[in-house]
């Protein structure tokens, strides 16, 4: 799951840097991506996969550096899958919007509409609050894992986990503060299971992944060896790192694996007219908590007249970033498995976006 736990000041500073760098390229016509753009802007020592695309009409350019596994060694392929951490939340939000369009969910109804077993205080919490990390519900899953790390292997349905770990008190009035809590997403998954009658992961596959036609995207098992071809995670010193706790009940928060090409395929479908209505796409790109630039399941960067879906994720040594412009399909994807700093990953993405605009 994503470790966006740095101080708010650092996040604000990074956001200002992103805005300043992107403002130079906002509104400029995109250029044709070539491998030379990648060679120029991806620094020496990068280990992973990078994709760039100038527009929806252009073919993506993908390049790899380094090793997916150092012990063998095993080089990357263009379609090597990585754990993508909190990019999972964006995919979860798309799933919820699909169910809302089917009349099964409503973003502004209390979550007790679907999980009436939750405490009375939870009547003040809406599905929108969960999807924007502003619910105020205590971090029940995190607290439980600290008391008993063995819970990471607990195999229970998400709807059961939602009631078990999401019944804590409200720590603040819903909608008034931002708290990046995996418990929000356990409850979301529980609601999805309640209204669909199927496991959360199956609902996501049926409603989003299968329509996107992706082949290297799914939900990882607790054992990395159980996911074929998955890049392994390392520290910056190239030593192997154990995948952090990612219990199956937290699938909505951060257990998706994907490839660079698949992430663009999903974004192409999500921001076209083929999957979601115009109203749902507006919801997905509407910031709910301005200080964090957080919308539903991910961040949105507004630069002049340009709007970017900015989906980032962290899971141990895995670092991922999808920057996507819905209006023209301009895209940059960075997947790294050696614990790259998120600020450095963002800097590279901005340089590539600027190069695409030349």
In tens, the pLDDT along 241-254 reads 876 666 788 999 99
Q: Quick one: tokens of 334?
A: 């960075």
> Contact 246/315 with Cβ under 8 angstroms?
yes
Share of the chain above pLDDT 70, in %: 88
> Contact 302/191 with Cβ under 8 angstroms?
no
Q: Is the pTM of this model over 0.75?
A: yes
Mean pLDDT of the residues in the chain: 89
Distance between CA atoms of residues 53 and 33, nearest Å: 6
The least confident of 212-216, 226-230, 260-264, 303-307 is: 303-307
- pLDDT above 50: residue 2: no
- pLDDT above 70: residue 10: no
Q: Which one from 5, 36, 86, 167 is the annotated catalytic residue?
A: 86
Average pLDDT of 84-93?
98
Fold of the 8-86+215-246+256-356 domain: Beta-lactamase (3.40.710)
Instruction: Domain 90-196: give its CATH code.
Output: 1.20.58
Q: Which of 194, 196, 170 is nearest to 184 (CA)?
A: 170
Average pLDDT of 210-238?
86
**86 belongs to the catalytic site:** yes
**For position 281, what pLDDT does the model report?**
98
Distance between CA atoms of residues 259 and 273, nearest Å: 23
Q: Which long-range contacts (CB under 8 A, 24 or more apart) does 23-27 make?
A: 23/303, 23/304, 24/354, 25/306, 25/353, 25/354, 25/356, 25/357, 25/358, 26/303, 26/304, 26/305, 26/306, 27/304, 27/305, 27/306
Domain boundaries, the chain: 8-86+215-246+256-356, 90-196
Confidence of residue 226 (pLDDT cuts 50, 70, 90): low
With the C-alpha atoms ordered 169, 172, 178, 179, is the resulting torsion angle positive or negative? negative
Confidence of residue 357 (pLDDT cuts 50, 70, 90): confident
- 26-35, 226-235, 311-320: which is most confident: 311-320
Higher pLDDT residue, 286 or 306? 286
DSSP 225: G
Ranges of beta strands (E only) in the chain are: 48-53, 61-65, 67-69, 74-75, 82-83, 218-219, 256-258, 299-303, 306-315, 318-324, 331-336
Identify the burial level of 136 via C-beta atoms within 10 angstroms of its C-beta, where 0-12 means exposed, 13-18 middle and 19 or more buried.
buried
- pLDDT above 50: residue 125: yes
- Please determine whether the domains at 8-86+215-246+256-356 and 90-196 fall in the same fold group of CATH: no
Q: Which of 162, 243, 159, 150 is nearest to 197 (CA)?
A: 159
SS3 203: helix
Identify the burial level of 7 via C-beta atoms within 10 angstroms of its C-beta, where 0-12 means exposed, 13-18 middle and 19 or more buried.
exposed
Distance between CA atoms of residues 33 and 25, nearest Å: 15
């Amino acid at each position: 799951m994503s470790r966006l736990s740095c101080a708010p000041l650092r996040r604000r500073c990074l956001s200002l840097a992103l805005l300043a760098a992107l403002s130079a390229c906002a509104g400029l016509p995109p250029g044709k991506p070539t491998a030379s753009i990648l060679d120029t802007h991806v620094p020496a020592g990068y280990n992973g996969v990078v994709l760039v695309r100038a527009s929806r009409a252009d073919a993506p350019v993908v390049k790899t550096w380094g090793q997916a596994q150092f012990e063998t060694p095993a080089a990357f392929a263009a379609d090597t899958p990585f754990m993508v951490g909190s990019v999972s939340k964006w995919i979860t939000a798309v799933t919820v919007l699909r169910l809302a369009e089917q009349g099964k969910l409503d973003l502004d109804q209390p979550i007790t509409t679907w999980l009436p077993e939750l405490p009375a205080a939870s009547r003040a919490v809406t599905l929108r609050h969960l999807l924007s990390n502003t619910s105020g519900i205590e971090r029940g899953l995190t607290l439980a894992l600290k008391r008993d790390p063995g819970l990471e292997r607990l195999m229970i349905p998400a709807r059961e986990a939602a009631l078990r770990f999401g019944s804590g008190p409200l720590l603040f009035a819903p909608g008034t503060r931002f708290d990046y809590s995996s418990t929000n997403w356990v409850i979301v998954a529980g609601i999805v299971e309640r209204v669909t009658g199927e496991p959360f992961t199956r609902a996501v596959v049926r409603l989003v992944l299968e329509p996107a036609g992706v082949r290297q995207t799914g939900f990882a098992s607790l054992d990395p060896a159980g996911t074929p071809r998955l890049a392994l995670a390392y520290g910056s010193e190239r030593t192997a790192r154990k995948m952090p706790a990612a219990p199956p009940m937290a699938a909505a928060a951060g257990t998706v694996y994907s490839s660079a090409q698949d992430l663009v395929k999903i974004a192409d479908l999500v921001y076209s007219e083929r999957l979601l209505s115009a109203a749902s796409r507006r919801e997905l790109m509407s910031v709910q908590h301005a200080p964090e630039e957080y919308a539903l399941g991910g961040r949105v960067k507004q630069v002049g007249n340009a709007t970017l879906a900015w989906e980032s994720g962290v899971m141990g040594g895995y670092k991922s970033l999808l920057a996507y412009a819905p209006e023209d399909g301009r895209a940059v994807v960075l997947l790294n498995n050696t614990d790259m700093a998120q600020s450095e990953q963002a800097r590279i993405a901005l340089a590539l976006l600027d190069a695409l605009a030349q």
